[in-house]
């Protein structure tokens, strides 16, 4: 479970940083935002794959949320 916990924490940090960039209200930086969205997708996909290996309710929910977040990030890239 150590790797699962590490992966979840890394993913959460990347998602939080992506959120801060995406919701900043001053100016814009489309190139950087698209790169962060792609990184968030990668982190979420890796985290979901790791969590799906474990038979725990919290891992199942984490994998679900990671898949949903990755879908949302893909949609955001398409509209940016």
Measure Cα distances from 48 to 4, 33, 35, 40 in Å: 10, 22, 20, 12
pTM: 0.93
- Give me the phi and psi of 48, to 5 degrees please: -60, -45
State the CATH number of the domain containing residue 36: 1.20.1270.360
Token duo for residue 59: 């891992």
Segments forming the whole domain that contains residue 38? 2-79
Give the model confidence (pLDDT) of 10-45 as tens digits. Answer: 999 999 999 999 999 888 889 999 999 999 999 999
**Alpha helix segments (H runs only) across the chain:** 2-23, 30-51, 57-79
| The pLDDT value given to residue 28 | 84
Tally of structural domains, the chain: 1
């Amino acid at each position: 479970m150590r790797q699962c916990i590490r992966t979840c924490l890394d993913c959460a940090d990347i998602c939080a940083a992506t959120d801060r960039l995406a919701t900043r209200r001053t100016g814009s930086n489309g190139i950087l935002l698209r790169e962060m969205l792609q990184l968030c997708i990668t982190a979420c996909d890796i985290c979901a794959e790791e969590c799906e290996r474990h038979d725990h309710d919290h891992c199942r929910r984490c994998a679900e949320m990671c898949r949903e977040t990755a879908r949302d990030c893909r949609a955001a890239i398409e509209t940016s």
